[in-house]
Homo-oligomer: A and B are copies of this chain.
Amino acid sequence: MPYDPSAFPPFAVTVDLVVLTVRRHALCALLVRRGEPPYQGRWALPGGFVRIDEDLEAAAARELAEETGLQVQDPGSGHVGAHLEQLATYGDPRRDPRMRVVSVAYLVLAPDLPSPTAGGDAHSVRWAQVDTLSTPGGGPVRDGDRPAPLAFDHDRILADGVERARSKIEYSSLATAFCPPEFTVGELRRVYEAVWGVALDPRNFHRKVTGTPGFLVPTGGTTTRQGGRPAQLFRAGGATLLNPPMLRPEI
Contact = CB atoms under 8 A, between A and B. Distances in A.
Nearest to A91: B56
Interface in A24-62: 35-36, 48-56
A234 to B, nearest CB: 25
B50 A91 contact: yes
A161 to B, nearest CB: 14
A102 B13 contact: yes
A3 B49 contact: yes
B99 A8 contact: yes
A163 interface: no
Contacts of A243: 250
A56 B89 CA distance: 9
A217 interface: no
Contacts of A53: 93, 100
Contacts of A220: none
A2 B55 contact: no
Nearest to A63: B1
B8 A91 contact: no
A74 interface: no
B92 A89 contact: no
A92 B9 CA distance: 19
Contacts of A102: 11, 13, 50, 56, 102, 104
A6 B108 CA distance: 30
A114 interface: no
Nearest to A55: B92
B35 A2 contact: yes
Interface string A55-85: 1100000010010000000000000000000
A251 to B, nearest CB: 11
A222 interface: no
A98 interface: yes
28 contacts: A1-B49, A1-B63, A2-B35, A5-B12, A8-B12, A8-B99, A9-B12, A9-B49, A10-B52, A11-B11, A11-B13, A11-B52, A13-B13, A50-B91, A53-B93, A53-B100, A54-B93, A55-B91, A55-B92, A56-B91, A56-B92, A56-B102, A86-B88, A86-B89, A89-B89, A89-B104, A102-B102, A243-B250
